[in-house]
Amino acid sequence: MLPETSRRDFLKGTAALLGGLSLPSILTVPETAGAAATGGYKALVCILLEGGADMFNMIVPRQKSSWQEYRNVRKGLALSRSSLLPIDHADRSGNNPLRYGMRETMSGLQRLFGEEKLAIVANVGTLVRPVTLREIREGAPLPRQLFAHNTQRELWMLGDSKALLNTGWGGRLADRFDPGPHPWFNLTVGGENLLQSGGRSAPLPFENAEISPDTMRRYGFGPEAGGAQLGRTYQRLYADRRSASNRLLAALAKERMKELKLPYRLSGLFDGLKEIPPFPAGVHETGKPLGEQLRLVAQILSVHNNFPGRPRRQIFFVNHHGWDTHDSDNAHQSEYLSECMTTFQDTMERLGLEDRVTTFTLSDFGRSLSPNGAGTDHGWGNHALVMGGAVRGGEIYGTMPRISPDSPDAWEDRMIPTLASEQYLAEIVRWFGADNDDLDVIFPNLHTFGGPAPEFMS
Partner 1 sequence: MAILSLAFLSAEVPAGRQEASAFLARATFGPTEEGIDHLIGLGSYDEWIEEQFALPPTFHMDWILSHARGVNGVGDLADHPGQWDRYSDALGTMQLHAWWDIVVHSDDQLRQRVAFALSELFVISKYGPLLNFPDARISFYDTLVRHAFDNFETLLRAVTYHPAMGKYLSYLGNARAGVFGAHPDENYAREVMQLFTIGLYRLRPDGTKVLDENGSPIHTYSQEDVTEMARVFTGLSDDNGHIEAEAAFSSHHSRTAPMRPFSGYHDRGSKRILGHTLPAGQGTRRDIRQALRILVRHPNTAPFVARHLIQRLVTSNPSPQYIERVSRVFENNGEGVRGDMKAVIRAVLLDPEALHGRREFPETFGKLREPLLYISHLLRAFHARNGYHYLEQEGKRLYRYRSFNLEETGFLKQEGPLSALTVFNYFSPEDAPTALRKRGLAAPEMTVYGKQGIDDVLMGIIHKNGFIYELMDLHADLRIGKIERWMKRKQFRRALSYLNTLLCAGTLSTESEQTILDYLERVASRKSPEKLARHLIGLVITSPDYALQR
Q: Is 225 in the site for partner 1 (CB under 8 A)?
A: yes
Q: Is 220 in the site for partner 1 (CB under 8 A)?
A: yes
We find the least distance from the C-beta atom of residue 457 to partner 1, in angstroms, to be 29
Q: Is 212 in the site for partner 1 (CB under 8 A)?
A: no
We find the least distance from the C-beta atom of residue 70 to partner 1, in angstroms, to be 13
Q: Is 324 in the site for partner 1 (CB under 8 A)?
A: yes
Per-residue binding string, partner 1, 398-437, x by CB under 8 A, is ---------------x------------------------
How many angstroms from the chain centroid is the CA of residue 330?
20
Cα angle, residue 217 at apex, residues 18 and 204 outer, rounded to 5°: 75
Q: Return the residue of 3, 19, 179, 199 that touches partner 1, per CB under 8 A.
A: 199
Q: Is 178 in the site for partner 1 (CB under 8 A)?
A: no
35: exposed, middle or buried (Cβ count in 10 Å: 0-12, 13-18, 19+) = exposed
We find the least distance from the C-beta atom of residue 367 to partner 1, in angstroms, to be 11
We find the least distance from the C-beta atom of residue 356 to partner 1, in angstroms, to be 28
Per CB under 8 A, the segment of 9-17, 217-225, 306-314, 396-404 that binds partner 1 is: 217-225
DSSP 130: -
Whole-Å CA distances, 289 to 221, 283, 318, 335, 445: 29, 9, 10, 13, 35
Q: Which is nearer to partner 1, 102 or 416 (CB)?
A: 416
Break the chain down into helix, strand, coil percent, rounded to 5: 40, 15, 45
Distance separating alpha carbons of residues 382 and 35, to the nearest angstrom: 34
**Residues 349 to 388: which contact partner 1 by CB under 8 A?**
368, 370-375, 377-378
Q: Return the residue of 133, 244, 303, 331 that touches partner 1, per CB under 8 A.
A: 244
**Residues 7 to 66: which contact partner 1 by CB under 8 A?**
50-51
Distance separating alpha carbons of residues 447 and 1, to the nearest angstrom: 39
Q: Is 274 in the site for partner 1 (CB under 8 A)?
A: no
Looking at this protein, which amino acid is placed at residue 49? Answer: L
We find the least distance from the C-beta atom of residue 118 to partner 1, in angstroms, to be 28
Q: Is 237 in the site for partner 1 (CB under 8 A)?
A: yes
Whole-Å CA distances, 162 to 28, 165, 167, 199, 278: 39, 8, 13, 18, 41
Q: Which of 234, 170, 233, 157 is nearest to 201 (CA)?
A: 170
